[in-house]
Amino acid sequence: MKQPIFTQRQRGVTLVITMLMLLLVTIVGVSMIRSTTTDERMAGATRDREKAFQAAEAAVQTCLTQVKVNSFAGTKLNPVAAISSSPNWEVPANWSNANSTEITFPPNAGDGPDAVGLAAWPRCMVESLGAGGESYRVTGRAVGGSSNTEVILQATYSTE
């Protein structure tokens, strides 16, 4: 007995449809993995920046407190007078031991910055603004777990 014509045309169509569905599911799966990986990288970068921000804020607060009680032992820089020159905090050489102070956080200070998730201890720089009385600009610089993540914060203090 002969098979009806419409069943003969359908041979192999199921395989083609199945392969197309498998290709579609694979593309969706790969795009989901890429999206998840990107989201994870963004979350890690945000976490690293937050660590750097908190460390810079702690450095500014520590130095600001020392300036307020007149116990800051570091160098007090003068601000750059020329308009064409870069401000002190933008010059990488100024973040050396000569011009800035390293801030460590107890109780892990002896363990090093990696114990608190930082690539290096934050530093602060104090500039005397010389506006009559005692006016200072305190700048804090910190890096996160990666030295590529850098945050710089500033505060001013005046007794006027």
Tens of each residue's pLDDT in the chain, 160 residues: 566 655 555 567 888 889 999 999 999 999 999 999 999 989 988 999 999 999 999 999 998 988 888 888 777 777 766 555 788 888 888 888 888 888 887 655 567 777 778 888 899 998 888 766 678 889 999 998 888 899 999 998 887 7
Report which of 153, 100, 157 is spatially closest to residue 131, judged by C-alpha positions. 157
Preceding omega of 107 cis (within 30 degrees of 0): yes
Max Cα distance, the chain (Å)? 112
Please tell me the pTM assigned to this model: 0.73
Q: Which residues contact 10 (CB under 8 A, 6 or more apart)?
A: none
Q: Which two tokens stand for residue 143?
A: 């890096």
Break the chain into its structural domains and give their ranges: 46-158
